[in-house]
Amino acid sequence: MLSARLSRSYLPRAASSFRAPVVRSPLASSFRRHYADGGDDKVKGQVIGIDLGTTNSAVAVMEGKTPRIIENAEGTRTTPSVVGFTKEGERLVGIAAKRQAVVNPENTLFATKRLIGRKFSDAEVQRDIQQVPYKIVQHTNGDAWLEAQGQKYSPSQIGGFVLGKMKETAEAFLGKSIKNAVVTVPAYFNDSQRQATKDAGQISGLNVLRVVNEPTAAALAYGLEKENDRIIAVYDLGGGTFDISVLEIQKGVFEVKSTNGDTHLGGEDFDITLVRHLVQQFKKEQGIDLSNDRMAIQRIREAAEKAKIELSSSLQTDINLPFITADSSGPKHINTKMSRSQLEQLVDPLISRTVDPVRKALKDANLQAKEIQEVILVGGMTRMPKVTESVKSIFGREPAKSVNPDEAVAIGAAIQGAVLAGEVMDVLLLDVTPLSLGIETLGGVFTRLINRNTTIPTKKSQIFSTAADFQSAVEIK
């Protein structure tokens, strides 16, 4: 099936030892020369950085040597990644879309980033179908699409609408048209998910110069002004995904050593767990099952998210939802108290799911937890005290509080944009491919060409023979 001849062509890793100065490596030196010459193509115009999040998105720009988050029209620094379609044919994005979700749950699309680049048959998609009020449908090519007001949309289109909103926010602040952007993705996204994110950028009218891994972007935000060399871990638990990356920072060079994660674990799952608990509790007390009442479920979902956030700073909160439903005896209400310990008990299995990827990332980096000198927390869910405790128990140290978990990724994207534009010359980012890459060969066998955690860019060639004599065509998967 495979020919005997094999050829490899790739750039060496940036350092053979963790303690060796990265700046002396051939790869780092070649990249520095490359950027000093302006890269492949000199970027014209300002470059914005966008964190396209599952729950919220943010946009940032460099002002001189300082990155800045741009507030939206409503004055907030993050924008809900929500798109709503009204019966009048209007499309709403962001806060306006989220506000009308309770009265229009079937046509308000949220957390669609979890569907981007996925097939309808994926187990995660089938699970999502049971947990969202809107329709997830199968496209002719087998991809998972969405339906609202009788129209079908790809997740890339919905992502494009959100990116378009971020583009408008940046243009309103800067007072000029913006074409170029760096967009972030979860580190553990596969190739089809990354390509679908680039497609979203095109739909919004943006030229996506680079797709950067979210933990790597956060590391840029953390390390831009740091002078000391160090080894750090970025623990990123956001709205829909979890990533862990181990990096070495030396003299402006950010080298990713390993990355791991779960593309279907985040704050949405915490919300779903709490919603399920409240629905079961209401059924037990009132004998009414609200599972199929989309408007009621949307109200409970919003109350669950609010309670989850409040319990990060309070020990107890009230969940009050009057007139949630009615029966022959009259209206029914949800009126209950939730303690932090109750919530922690409910979501403990979800927090535990982050431990194994962390251990794998450390193993791939040939490091022990005690060798990590700083742990950076990214993503809104890291504000939960139980999550912080879990991180502390893994690494044996208090996580750093020096970056804003909601804004660090967008800031890092803006820094990388400035690097590509030649505005920042003393920063070099060496990222890795999070998953092994290969092709399918005879018998449905996956033949690996590039191992996971290989520094990119990289190239490898391998010669394959045909499965049968005189074969004139092949299908590459």
The full DSSP string for 79-104 is EE-EEEE-TTS-EEETHHHHHTTTT-
pLDDT at 345: 98
Please provide the average confidence, as pLDDT, over all residues in the chain: 90
Give me the CATH number covering residue 281.
3.90.640.10
Active site residue 51: yes
Question: Which residue type does 107 have?
Answer: N
List residues bridging with 213 in a β-sheet: 185
CA-angle at 80, arms to 120 and 319, nearest 5°: 95
pLDDT at 11: 34
Does residue 413 lie in a domain region? no
For 298, the domain range is 273-348
User: Which tokens hold the place of 49?
Assistant: 């950085």
pLDDT at 433: 85
pLDDT at 35: 45
Query: Considering 98, 113, 332, 386, which one is annotated as catalytic?
Result: 113
Region 154-171: what's the mean pLDDT? 98
pLDDT band for position 402 (cuts 50, 70, 90): confident
Does residue 135 lie in a domain region? no
Tell if the pTM clears 0.75, that is, is over it: yes
Q: Is the pLDDT of residue 30 over 80?
A: no
Domain count, the chain: 1
Cis peptide before 80 (omega within 30 of 0): no
Query: Considering 51, 143, 199, 305, which one is annotated as catalytic?
Result: 51
Does residue 240 lie in a domain region? no
Does residue 296 lie in a domain region? yes
DSSP 8-class letter at 119: B
pLDDT at 444: 84
User: Which tokens hold the place of 86?
Assistant: 């009204």
Classify 247 as helix, strand or coil. strand
H helix or E strand, kind and range, residue 395: helix 385-395
Radius of gyration of the chain (CA): 23
Which residue did the predictor score with more confidence, 32 or 332? Answer: 332
Does residue 310 lie in a domain region? yes
pLDDT at 24: 37
Query: Considering 143, 199, 214, 268, which one is annotated as catalytic?
Result: 214
Active site residue 302: no
Residue pLDDT, tens place only, 356-380: 999 999 999 999 999 999 999 999 9
Region 112-127: what's the mean pLDDT? 96
Region 56-80: what's the mean pLDDT? 96
Which residue did the predictor score with more confidence, 444 or 308? Answer: 308
Residue 262: name the closest of 246, 241, 245, 244 by CA: 241
Residue 187 contacts residue 215 (beta carbons within 8 Å): yes
Classify 349 as helix, strand or coil. helix
Q: Is the pLDDT of residue 27 over 80?
A: no
Region 141-151: what's the mean pLDDT? 97
Q: Is the pLDDT of residue 33 over 90?
A: no
Sequence-separated (6 or more) residues with CB below 8 Å from residue 283: 289, 290
Region 61-75: what's the mean pLDDT? 94
Report the length, in residues, of the chain. 477
With a pLDDT cut of 90, the percent of the chain lying above it is 75
Does residue 337 lie in a domain region? yes
Residue pLDDT, tens place only, 254-275: 999 999 999 999 999 999 999 9
Residue 182: name the closest of 280, 310, 43, 290 by CA: 43
Query: Considering 128, 199, 236, 269, which one is annotated as catalytic?
Result: 236
Does residue 357 lie in a domain region? no
Residue 109 contacts residue 146 (beta carbons within 8 Å): yes
